[in-house]
Structure 1
């Protein structure tokens, strides 16, 4: 599978690795980002050796990566806040530094997997959505039927949201042909 084909596969909700919900004017999307897209990004177009691909896959395969995005009217939700600069500033602080207080991953065995790392992608209003990358350890999810991305209200007015993914869908994303 080519990189463009894999991106299209991951973006298609029917494949079970992307979900979305609309609350009022805000569209919330959560999308799994598979290991091979990280490998391709790190390789940055170079022709890799098999050992290099295997090493990078091992590096990234220990984690689940999810990209959470928010948009309003096809614009970054962060830049559409109605309450002025105070609310904007507070949301930037929460999205940049405090999201582990509002996000967890749980398993079908009711284990909780905390956020391992996260990052707000700052595009300063130049994108169609506000995006936050979340990283979770796969270790506790091994042999579980599903994992659930839990997002609690953090000031955007979207309430608590739950997105459940079958592990088989996450684990069986097609590989890239390097």
Structure 2
């Protein structure tokens, strides 16, 4: 599938790879990010990357599962609710960048779960109307392809405990991304 159609497929909630919910006046969207999409993003600007280069990048992402979280409140970035308190504002920015990883978990069974290994957040300064961050889970000892749940303890952002389910059927139905 060509890159633009692939991204549209991922964003279409009917395919089960993007889930949105409301929590305490905020909208939270969780989207599965396949490693092939991350490889494609790394190859942007590289003319005619060889299959060996693509394979090398894919190996670097292997054993990990990636999801994005998009958070908005009142049509604005989630952190803007704290803008009138400079100390709280700085704390929430730090939390979005690194601390949120301790509050995000990926579970494949009731007894097999891992916290996020990392989170990455880049501020948009009002350009998008939402905050988006990437969560990285080390799942090399799990089987996320059989389905998983992502749980977020959202209390630090004024949210409830949130759970997003990705079924093995939806993950298996993901088309192949065409790089050329």
Q: TM-score, normalised by structure 1?
A: 0.88
CA contact (8 A) 1:111 1:140 kept: no
Distance 1:168 1:78 in 2: 35
Structure 2 SS opposite 1:57: helix
CA contact (8 A) 2:24 2:158 kept: no
User: Match of 1:48?
Assistant: 49
CA contact (8 A) 1:141 1:147 kept: no
User: Match of 2:155?
Assistant: 154
Distance 1:167 1:87 in 2: 39
Compared CA separation, residues 168 and 56, structure 1 to 2 (3 A)? farther
Q: TM-score, normalised by structure 2?
A: 0.87
Q: Which runs of 5+ in 1 are unaligned?
A: none
Alignment of 1:4 with 2:8, yes or no, is no
Distance 1:103 1:153 in 2: 9
Distance 2:144 2:7 in 1: 26
CA RMSD in angstroms, aligned pairs only: 2.0
Structure 1 SS opposite 2:124: coil
User: Match of 2:128?
Assistant: 127
User: Match of 2:108?
Assistant: 107
- How far the C-alpha of 1:57 sits from its partner, in A, is 2.0
CA contact (8 A) 1:102 1:154 kept: no
Structure 2 SS opposite 1:128: coil
Q: Which runs of 5+ in 2 are unaligned?
A: none
CA contact (8 A) 1:71 1:128 kept: yes
- How far the C-alpha of 1:26 sits from its partner, in A, is 0.7
User: Match of 1:34?
Assistant: 34
User: Match of 2:68?
Assistant: 67
CA contact (8 A) 1:150 1:163 kept: yes
